[in-house]
Amino acid sequence: MDIGNGRMLIDEYTQCMTFSENFCNITGSIDVLVQKVFPKIAQYYKNHQCLSTHAILAARNNDVNTINFTIQNGIPGETTTYKSIDTVVNQDEVVNYLTEFLNSLDLPGMPLHVFILKIAVLIILLRNINSPRLCNGTRLSVQKMMNNVIEATILFGKFKGKDVLLPRIPIIPTDMPFEFNCLQFPLRLAFAITINKAQGQSLQVCGLHLENPCFSYGQLYVAFSCVGNPSDLFIYAPDGKTRNIVYPIALQ
């Protein structure tokens, strides 16, 4: 609550707060952070009970992507690659937004152009497909991969253990100056997820990757509130410090 209310002691020069030893476990590198949150992942990657309650959180998509790719590479098995089909909705703008440019976009809440998967890896749903069973934020484990459908098992919530089919769907982002259609699976890897995506989730073991600090109001509080025991909270932050974005006027 002190973090959420902005009451933690802040260094006036760096504008950063320092984590106390009894508040969390500080790790010295990203590799150590991964090992603490997902110990022996190459052996236990099919343990749904463990995977559903462990996650690494980060503020930015590029940090999340790096961690996810690293963990997936350490899991045995062959990879399957799915590429999106990206097209501009208004055909008059095709010459202004080439396909290569559309493929290069990495937007919040949107799937990647190149989506690489292995059997049993963690994934998260980016859209509501069939509420309340398949909602935005649902975490699943991949069971079977086909050309246009992925079979997966729900890992958390009322429908935990249910096998579902996930199709490719057309997705049009709403926060762009132009409209384009992305035909892809509405999924991303989910060993690591963004802090914004973790809102409302409860974890037994949580890791925080804060090399790039939080950038919006309340993010740090949301990340810390996902886990209840300090011994199960692992943090990687330069010098054990990070920024806490709080606007006191919003709390009045």
Q: What's the CA gap between 177 and 140, in Å, rounded? A: 32
Residue ranges of the alpha helices (H) in the chain?
A: 30-37, 41-44, 48-51, 61-73, 99-104, 219-224, 248-251
pLDDT of 220 reads 85
pLDDT at 146 over 90: yes
- Cis previous bond, 108, omega within 30: no
Residue 219: pLDDT over 80: yes
**For residue 173, cis peptide bond before it (omega within 30 degrees of 0):** no
* pLDDT number for residue 249: 61
Tell whether the model's pLDDT for residue 222 goes beyond 70.
yes
> Which pLDDT tens digit goes with each residue over 43-89?
888 888 888 889 999 999 999 999 999 999 999 999 999 999 999 99
Domain-wise residue ranges, the chain: 1-59+195-252, 63-68+77-193
pLDDT, position 194: 92
For residues 52 and 160, the answer to whether their CB atoms sit within 8 Å is: yes
Mean pLDDT of 233-252: 77
pLDDT band at 180 (very low <50, low <70, confident <90, very high): very high
Q: Rounded mean pLDDT of the chain?
A: 88
* pLDDT tens, position by position, 84-134: 999 999 888 888 899 999 999 988 889 999 999 999 999 999 999 988 889
Q: What is the mean pLDDT of residues 143-162?
A: 93
Residues 6+ apart with CB under 8 A from 46: 120, 141
In this model, does residue 13 exceed pLDDT 80?
Answer: no
Q: Is 241 left (phi over 0), alpha (psi -120 to 50) or beta?
A: beta
Give Cα 190 to chain centroid, integer Å.
Answer: 5
- What average pLDDT does range 169-177 have in this prediction? 89
